[in-house]
Amino acid sequence: MNHVNTVLGPRAPSELGRALVHEHVLIGYPGWFMDARMPPFVRAEALDRAVDAFQQLRAYGVQTVVDPCPMDLGRDVTFNAEVSQRSGVALISTTGAYFEAEGIPFMFRHFEMQEIADIYQKEIEDGIGGSGIRPGLLKIATGDGVVSDYERKLLTAAAKVAKITGVPLLSHTQNCTCGHEQIDIVTGEGNEAHRLLVGHSCGRDDHPYQKSLAERGAYVGFDRFGITIFNSDESRMKNLKQMIDAGFRDSLLVSHDKVNCWMGGIPGIGSPDAVKDIVPNWRMTQLFETIFPALVEMGVDQSDLDHIVSENVRRFFAGDSKPH
């Protein structure tokens, strides 16, 4: 692919620079507005907060961030465009919908696969909701352990559109399951596996699973550093080093899955204010502040970490084939 759509227009993959592949500017779970106990969403305040967070990231040389918010979790590309403009960090948004249990399946449940493909393709070609802002990635998502019929329909639609448009795919997985099923569906529509980043593959201490994804040629997302309620960062670092030691450096992409602004609350947790106590190190600078230095202490070369946050990102978007 010779260009990537950012919220401020096309860029060459070689211009992306240092990048994080999975951070959220803004999230609102389906029905977020139904809980009157939660703090009201004040857009201007949220914008200021997001701009501040992305400016802090720039201090670590990060030039580009992928915001993989699916269309049914409050995706707001004009919000992202303002954050990008004010912070100086390029943002890449996505088209695609979330997994059945946590998204808004009502509409797409009634559509044929081809209708959903047409919608994704229209967003890529014409922009999102009249904004003219085009997504740079297709988001796919599966639930825990089983790909539902609904999810299979959406994944197939996204894979077809990836093949037609050359836009790569990024996924959500639950509990390190269904990564292989995602690869099957993506390659089944004629795409090479390296067009897919299998997200959240660091959710469990499971080197064999992570390695098996890379062996098939997919990118493997170690993209939840700081979310220590699912897995410890120590476990993630151990597994990341195992991948590098096993020769899979070029298959790795890293991030935090940070949510910078919430609309409403978080089911099961409550107010967004509670998050700070539960995951105190969940911030977009954590990789550079503590994780990378700790990995270097463990014997990983800094040059390999720099390679992962820059060259691997460039290669993923460019669609270059990989050694595995």
- Select 224 or 315, whichever has its Cβ closest to Zn ion: 224
Give the residues lining the site for Zn ion (CB under 5 A). 257
Considering the complex, what minimum distance in angstroms separates the CB of residue 223 from Zn ion? Answer: 8
Contact 114, 146 (CB under 8 A): no
Residue 252 in contact with residue 312, Cβ under 8 Å? yes
* 312 contacts 305 by C-beta, under 8 angstroms: no
3-state secondary structure (DSSP) of residue 98: coil
The nearest distance, CB 259 to Zn ion, in angstroms, is 8
Q: Which is nearer to Zn ion, 102 or 206 (CB)?
A: 102
Query: Which is closer to Zn ion, CB of 233 or CB of 257?
Result: 257
- Residue 11 or 200 having the CB closest to Zn ion: 200
Q: Name the residue number minimizing CB distance to Zn ion.
A: 257
Kindly tell me which of 91 and 300 has the beta carbon lying closer to Zn ion. Answer: 91
CB of 12 to Zn ion, least distance (A): 26
- DSSP assignment of 108-155, as one string? HHTS-HHHHHHHHHHHHHH-STTS-PPPSEEEEE--SSS--HHHHHHH
How many C-beta atoms lie closer than 10 Å to residue 107's C-beta?
A: 12
Q: Which of 207-220 are b and which e, b meaning 16 or more Cβ less than 10 Å from the residue's Cβ?
A: bebbbebbebbbbb
Q: How far is the CB of 198 from Zn ion (least distance, A)?
A: 13
Rank residues 264 and 300 by Cβ distance to Zn ion and give the closer one: 264
Q: Which long-range contacts (CB under 8 A, 24 or more apart) does 56-61 make?
A: 56/284, 56/285, 57/20, 57/87, 57/89, 57/284, 57/285, 58/87, 58/88, 58/89, 59/285, 60/18, 60/285, 60/288, 61/17, 61/18
Output the smallest distance, CB 306 to Zn ion, in A: 24
CB of 22 to Zn ion, least distance (A): 6
